[in-house]
Amino acid sequence: MASIQFTPSFINKVPFSDNKRIYYTDSHPRSKIKNFDLMLVVGKQTKTAYMRYRFNYHGARKQKLIQLSDMTNNAVSLSELRDMYVEKANDITRDSINFLKKEKYKNFTFKQGVDFYLKDKGDVSDWDREQLLVLCNQVIGIKKNDIETAIKVGDLVLAEFDRSLVKEIIEPFIDKGSLYSANMKREFIQRIWNYLNKEHEDVASVLVNKPNPASFSMKKTGFKKRASTKQLPSSEYAEFFRTVNKIHRSDFRDLLYLFLILGQHPFAEICKMRWDQIVEFDGNTWWKMEEGFHKVDNVHTVPLPKIALDIINRYKGNHEEYVFWNIYDKANLHSKATFKNVIGRLRAKYNFTWDIRCLRASFVTTINEINPTYVAGWLTNDQTSMTDTTSSKIYHRGDFKYHDYKLEMMNAYVEIIERAINEAV
C-alpha cells in the first residue's frame, strides 16, 4: 500500500487500475490520527475516499473501511475531504470513549453511588450518613434464573434499579406500617440517583434516558407528609428557656436559644453560620447569607439583636471560619442527629411537646401575632410572602431588603424573648 501526501493533482492524475483495486494512504499531517487513516481506493472506473478505522475487538485487531466521498469527478475538494475525515474520526473516538465509560461503569453499585455522594457533597448531616449506611446494609432477596439470592442493597447495580426493585426494598417497612421509614429510603434512592446524574459525568452516561426509579408517589400506601402538629406558643417561651437551661452543655443551650430567637433553619443555616457573614450596616449588625447558602437562592439578611450577638460573641476564637464549630465531639458542625438525642433525653425527663421543627414556626407565628401588618416571611426568606409591592420598596437598601421593617419586627419580637428569659430565671 503506497503512502503519499495527497494533492488535487495527484487525485486527478492517478491512473485507474485494470486489475485489482489499489490503495493509497494520505501522509498529510492532518490525516495522522491514531487508529485512523485517510485512504484513496482506485478501481477500474472509480476513485473513492475512505476512512480506515483500526480497533481491538475481544483481544483481536480489527479494521473497518468507512466511505467518505466519491472522488472520481472531484465531488468535494481535498480540504473538504480532510475536514470530513477529521470530524468522522473525532465522532468515532468520542463514541468509543463513551462506550468504554459505559463498560467501566455499567456495574457501578448503589454503595459506590452513596460513597461518591457523601464525599462529593461534603455537607451531609451525620443522621443522613448513618441512615444511608443502614440502607446500603439492608438485605433483600433477588431472584435470578428462578434462584433467590440474598444481597445487600448497596451491592445492587445502580443501572439495574427500576421501580419494582425500589418497591421491593421499601416493602418490608410498608408491611410493618413504618411508612415514614419506607418513604425515607425511597427518597434516599431518589436523591442519590439525581445527584449522580447531575454531578458524576461517567455514571450519568450509563443512567442517561433512564427514569429515576424512586420518583413515584407513596399515596397508595396511605403515606402522606404532614406538617408537625407540635407547637410552642409564646406563652410557653419562659418554660422553654427554663427547660433548655437545664442542659449541661453550653453550646447546646446557646444554639437552642438562637433557633428560637432568629427563626432561621437550625442546621442548614444557624449551625453553619460563618464569621464573614456577620456584617455592620447603618449602625446595626446583620447576618448576611450569600446567594447559594443552603437553599438561599438570593442574598438574605437578618438583623442580629444584642441578645443574639452576646451568644455569638462567646464563640470568638473558637474557629476562624465557622461560628459554632464543634470542639467537643468528632463532628465538625452540629447536626440534626446530635440534637435529636439531646431533645430526646430532655423530653423523657421533662415531658414537653415542642420539637426543633416547631421553633421556626413559633418565630413566624409570634411575629405575625404581634402586629397583623407584620410579614415574618421577610425575616425567614419565605419567597411566597416577599412580594415587592410599591409600599415595601421604601425598605430596600441595597442587599438589605425590607431593611427598616425587618429591624422593627425583630425588635418587637425580642421584647417577648427578653421577658420570657427574665421570667425563666
User: Helix (H, G, I), strand (E, B), or coil: what is residue 259?
Assistant: helix
Any idea which of 70-74, 99-103, 177-181 has the lowest mean pLDDT? 99-103
E strands, 214-348, are: 278-281, 284-289, 300-303
Which of 144, 133, 141, 143 lies closest to 110, judged by CA?
133
pLDDT band for position 107 (cuts 50, 70, 90): confident
- For the chain, domain boundaries: 2-105, 110-221, 234-424
Give mean pLDDT, residues 399-414.
93
Class of domain 234-424: mainly alpha
pLDDT band for position 408 (cuts 50, 70, 90): very high
Higher pLDDT, 295 or 247: 247
| Helix 250-262 and helix 237-244, axial crossing angle in degrees, nearest 10 | 160
Which run of H or E residues covers position 8?
helix 8-13
Which of 162, 139, 134, 133 lies closest to 152, judged by CA?
139
pLDDT band for position 385 (cuts 50, 70, 90): low
Give the tens place of pLDDT for each residue, 5-21: 999 999 999 999 988 89
Q: What is the pLDDT of the chain when averaged over all its residues?
A: 87
- Answer yes or no: is pLDDT of 390 > 50: no
CA distance 120 to 134: 20
Res 376: pLDDT: 92
Class of domain 2-105: alpha beta
Give the tens place of pLDDT for each residue, 359-368: 999 999 999 9
Res 203: pLDDT: 85
Give the tens place of pLDDT for each residue, 288-304: 999 888 777 789 999 99
Give mean pLDDT, residues 367-392.
76
Res 253: pLDDT: 95
Positive or negative torsion for Cα 78, 83, 86, 87 = negative
Which run of H or E residues covers position 60?
strand 60-70
Higher pLDDT, 130 or 250: 250
Give mean pLDDT, residues 176-184.
88
Which of 121, 120, 84, 210 lies closest to 158, judged by CA?
210
E strands, 116-159, are: 139-144, 147-152
CA distance 103 to 191: 24
Do 2-105 and 234-424 agree at the fold level? no
The amino acid occupying position 424 is A
- Answer yes or no: is pLDDT of 73 > 70: yes
Q: Between vectors from CA 269 to CA 263 and to CA 274, what angle results, nearest 5°?
A: 120
pTM over 0.75: no
CA distance 389 to 400: 16
Give the tens place of pLDDT for each residue, 123-163: 777 678 889 999 999 999 876 666 778 899 999 999 889 99
Higher pLDDT, 137 or 395: 137
Question: Alpha carbon 62 to chain centroid distance?
Answer: 43
Higher pLDDT, 353 or 307: 307
Res 425: pLDDT: 83
Q: Report the percentage of the chain scoring pLDDT > 90.
A: 57
Length of the chain measured in residues: 425
Please report where in the chains the cell 442587599 appears, as a residue: 399
Give mean pLDDT, residues 56-71.
85
Give mean pLDDT, residues 192-207.
87
Give the tens place of pLDDT for each residue, 27-52: 999 999 988 999 999 999 999 999 99
- At a CB cut-off of 8 Å and minimum separation 6, what does 380 contact? 263, 264, 360, 363, 364
